[in-house]
Structure 1
Amino acid sequence: MASALADDEVAAAPSALRTVLASPLYRGATVSLFLSGLGVSAAAPQITLFLVDDLHTSLTTAGLYYLTNITAPLAGYLIGTRSDRTGKRLGLFRACAVASAVGWFGMAASNQVWMPFVISALVLAFAGAAGSQLFAELHDSLQETVGTVGTAGDGVVSIVRMALTAGWIVGPVLGSLLAATAGPRVMLGATGLCTLAQIFPMGFARTASTARGPAVAVKSHSLHPPRPHADHVPRRPGLRAMLPLLAFTGLYCFVYAGEPIKYGYLTIYMRTDMHLPTAVSGAVIAIQPLIELILMPVAVITARRIGMMRLMIFGAGCGVGANLCFALTGNTAGMFAGQILMGCVWGVFAALGIIVAQRLLPEAVATASAIFMTSPAIASAVGGVTGGLGVNGLGLPHVFLLPAVFGIVATIGFAVMSRSRHAVA
């Protein structure tokens, strides 16, 4: 039996890859998400420098910029619920991508301190909803395609999600080079171009069920219902139905909250306290996304054996170990070990998180996708505040004990969910 399962798993990966390559929708979504990750990750490390150096704000005020992210989940929820009511995923995707591009162009042209704050809170809040609509469209398309529902479908989602991770690997390097050579305003404008360019790989594709019309029935062998048609407009999901998704997303936020603390203080700790050469500290930072990208397809295969929620217990536990390495080892090997463990964390959550979220709210997958994909905004705000207060009280490197505590809470929470009736196989 084990041998047969292994053979099926080996066969599933190339099947998923062939499915992506054969479908204009899946190919387009892959390229689109790569461009999205490339643009946003290029700008993310440079925004604080732009606020301080070009708009002459204080470090404290610049740090408050990240609190504007808290509007993103609300924007995502509004877009997601409208998508579930109308079924027009790709139209909303294009609208959010255009809004995101306008926001980044506005950031590049800002000449007053208040402008980036308002733009981020009111316009860029819709940026994350663009990707969530693509994942909702992928879910619907896979469900309606005979032979790609289930494990192969999970593989397709994982491959497309890997493109977003690949963009985040390349983006920070290109962003820093462009900001250094042409200035931060040019870099922010290039981010706007990348977000606008998300639209073009999708061509003139229309949402599948909209193109077919309401008269055509959808054949599906999945437990998930088909997307809404004109003659069936679903109600907005109630709070009771959303509780499992909200619990899962809250635990995910506990895992993610360590990221702003790590990016804010790990490099400083390695430079000022450990006195590591720049090349070594750069290698420490770079190894995490590399491990993440390698482990994402492995996570999909492993989840078929032990279940997705159980694998997330392992992922959250790796986050605890990573932060303990940062806080307690004090040497180069410990930094590499921590980043490798952190790569394991995001290899699991990046590959499977969106799949679990959609399965926890199957009657409203766009809403589920939007809530999950915009939740890191809240986690970043929480982590930023926690890190800022914690570093004053605990200092470096013991501030990393705080995300370790967050990780313990998440690990316990996922363990409880894995034993509940909401566990995802």
Structure 2
Amino acid sequence: MTDQLTRTPSVLRVVLASPLYRGATIALFLSGLGFSAAAPQIAQFLVKDLGASLTTAGLYYLTNLTAPVAGYLIGRRSDRTGRRLGLFRICAVAGFLGWLAIAFSGALWLPFVISAVVLGFAGAATSQLFAAIHDELAAAPTSAADGVVSVVRMALTLGWVVGPVAGAFLAAQAGLRAMLVATAVCTLAQILPLGTLRERVDTAADTGENGVTRSAHVPLRAMAALLAFTGLFILVYAGEPIKYAYLPIYMNDQLHFPAALSGAIIGIQPLVELALMPLAVVVARRMGMLPLMVLGALFGVGANLLFATTGTALGLFAGQILMGGVWGVFAGLGIIVAQRLLPTAIATASAIYLSAPALSSALGGLAGGLGAGALGLPLVFVIPAGLALAAAVGLLALNRRVGERVRG
């Protein structure tokens, strides 16, 4: 541990010294800031500004189901050409135009179509940056490689910490349409930190991790481990939409917590996550990435059982701290594992893995809605506990099959 801590400044120096790593860090912060500002407010926009019913507004999140298809198409194109940053810029511009069009929509159907058709491609921008970072690390290897990815990923998480607060404040002061315009600006501003930087196409397009030759076409069998890992991640992530939908209602309507206390309980998770992400990289070097993810999934089991059974502020704080542990592990290591499971098609691997939250939102929304009706609050949280337990068992089995492939 002491040895790793002495290396931490070198990781920061590597990030700051590289125009790509430094620019990607700022770009992902802007991406997280913009998207997380809009995500909690979009339903209100549909209801208040466009006259949607609550049920119709909830259906908006199903438009996320096109994101995996768009991400796969962009990733495949990226692996064929090696032009990561060019595609990143195209996706960022698409996101800018999409959010701007939603902000000025006058008909209810427009945000649904724009989100499904345009914003699905915009979401692929993040996967292109991680693919470009991987290529650069392969071309200029460093012992701090995992740390570099973790630092860049932390910037995205930090954006998600700041964004909801900033979005709520801007919506209250200037209106929901102004907030959506700000999201569009943040999405476009991702391009600025990278300037006119270009990737190393000569090395990136031809070889993958450990010199493995890349191929534009990846057979389904070669993606089996990646798809299994992504599916297990979806099970873990499905608890997030359930938690954000029902934990505030539970705290406000049944436990009657004051707003400040409820906000503190919700807000502690991302702070714990940020603190634990660098530590996860250190621990993974000792015990392996997938075994650590098994532990992370079990944290999710414990967290949701605390939500379901304690009924006290202390119990909910403990649950959120455990959830911070879940995402400190998965956010810090997930993209690294995904890329190592498909080293011949890094952009495709990144796109497939990063599509998991969109699919999880649909799964969590469906499971949470049915569970809340059948079990009520707080027992609905037993459902994500069961999903996380299934994920832990699956990750344990996956580690036995491919653990050596992802060991750092």
- Shorter-chain TM-score category? over 0.9
Q: What secondary structure is seen at the aligned counterpart in 2 of 1:421?
A: helix
Q: What secondary structure is seen at the aligned counterpart in 2 of 1:110?
A: coil
**136, 141, 156: which one aligns with 1:164:** 156
Deviations 1:323-345 (A, max 9, x none): 00111101101110110000000
Q: Do the aligned partners of 1:77 and 1:371 also contact (CA within 8 Å) in 2?
A: yes
| Residue 59 of structure 2 is aligned to residue 64 of structure 1 | yes
Distance in 2 between residues matched to 1:295 and 1:235, nearest whole Å = 36
**262, 270, 294: which one aligns with 2:251:** 270
| Residue 216 of structure 2 is aligned to residue 235 of structure 1 | yes
Q: What secondary structure is seen at the aligned counterpart in 1 of 2:41?
A: helix
Moved more, 190-199 or 57-66: 57-66
Q: Check 1:282–1:224 CA distance in 2 against 1; reply closer, same or farther (3 A cut).
A: farther
Deviations 1:181-226 (A, max 9, x none): 100000001000000000000010011225x899xx98x9x52537
Distance in 2 between residues matched to 1:72 and 1:420, nearest whole Å = 29
| Residue 275 of structure 2 is aligned to residue 291 of structure 1 | no
**31, 41, 50: which one aligns with 2:36:** 41
Q: Do the aligned partners of 1:12 and 1:155 also contact (CA within 8 Å) in 2?
A: no
Correspondence for 1:188: 180
Deviations 1:240-265 (A, max 9, x none): 00000000000000000010010011
Distance in 2 between residues matched to 1:126 and 1:422, nearest whole Å = 32
* TM alignment of 1:301-320, pairs within 5 A: 301-320=282-301
Distance in 2 between residues matched to 1:176 and 1:247, nearest whole Å = 37
Distance in 1 between residues matched to 2:118 and 2:293, nearest whole Å = 33
| Residue 2 of structure 2 is aligned to residue 10 of structure 1 | no
Correspondence for 1:197: 189
Distance in 2 between residues matched to 1:236 and 1:137, nearest whole Å = 19
**394, 398, 401: which one aligns with 1:417:** 398
Deviations 1:142-163 (A, max 9, x none): 11104x1xx4100000000000
Correspondence for 2:165: 173
Deviations 1:166-186 (A, max 9, x none): 000000000000001100000
* TM alignment of 1:387-406, pairs within 5 A: 387-406=368-387
Distance in 1 between residues matched to 2:322 and 2:204, nearest whole Å = 48
* TM alignment of 1:3-402, pairs within 5 A: 6-146=1-141, 148=142, 151-210=143-202, 223-225=210-212, 234-402=215-383
Distance in 2 between residues matched to 1:362 and 1:93, nearest whole Å = 20
Give structure 1 regions of 4+ aligned residues with deviation exceeding 3 angstroms: none
Distance in 1 between residues matched to 2:402 and 2:160, nearest whole Å = 35
TM-superposed CA distance for 1:134, in Å, is: 0.3
Q: Do the aligned partners of 1:224 and 1:362 also contact (CA within 8 Å) in 2?
A: no
What letter is aligned with 1:242? M
Distance in 1 between residues matched to 2:402 and 2:20, nearest whole Å = 34
Distance in 1 between residues matched to 2:293 and 2:403, nearest whole Å = 14
Deviations 1:311-332 (A, max 9, x none): 0000000001110011110110
Q: What secondary structure is seen at the aligned counterpart in 1 of 2:55?
A: helix
What letter is aligned with 2:19? P
Deviations 1:338-357 (A, max 9, x none): 10000000000000000000
Q: Do the aligned partners of 2:216 and 2:345 also contact (CA within 8 Å) in 1?
A: no
Q: Check 1:40–1:278 CA distance in 2 against 1; reply closer, same or farther (3 A cut).
A: same
Q: What secondary structure is seen at the aligned counterpart in 2 of 1:362?
A: coil
Q: Which runs of 5+ in 2 are unaligned?
A: none
Q: Check 1:384–1:144 CA distance in 2 against 1; reply closer, same or farther (3 A cut).
A: same
After superposition, the CA RMSD in angstroms is 1.5
What letter is aligned with 2:210? L
Q: Which runs of 5+ in 1 are unaligned?
A: 1-5, 229-233
Moved more, 125-134 or 170-179: 125-134
TM-superposed CA distance for 1:104, in Å, is: 0.3
Distance in 1 between residues matched to 2:155 and 2:402, nearest whole Å = 32
What TM-score do you get using the length of structure 1 for normalisation?
A: 0.93
| Sequence identity percentage | 63
What letter is aligned with 1:223? N
Distance in 1 between residues matched to 2:318 and 2:6, nearest whole Å = 32
Correspondence for 1:3: none
Distance in 2 between residues matched to 1:389 and 1:106, nearest whole Å = 33
**Equivalent residue pairs, number:** 406
Q: Do the aligned partners of 1:360 and 1:422 also contact (CA within 8 Å) in 2?
A: no
Q: Check 1:382–1:362 CA distance in 2 against 1; reply closer, same or farther (3 A cut).
A: same
Q: Do the aligned partners of 2:290 and 2:403 also contact (CA within 8 Å) in 1?
A: no
Distance in 2 between residues matched to 1:14 and 1:137, nearest whole Å = 23
What letter is aligned with 1:378? L
Q: Check 1:416–1:224 CA distance in 2 against 1; reply closer, same or farther (3 A cut).
A: farther
Q: Do the aligned partners of 2:304 and 2:385 also contact (CA within 8 Å) in 1?
A: yes
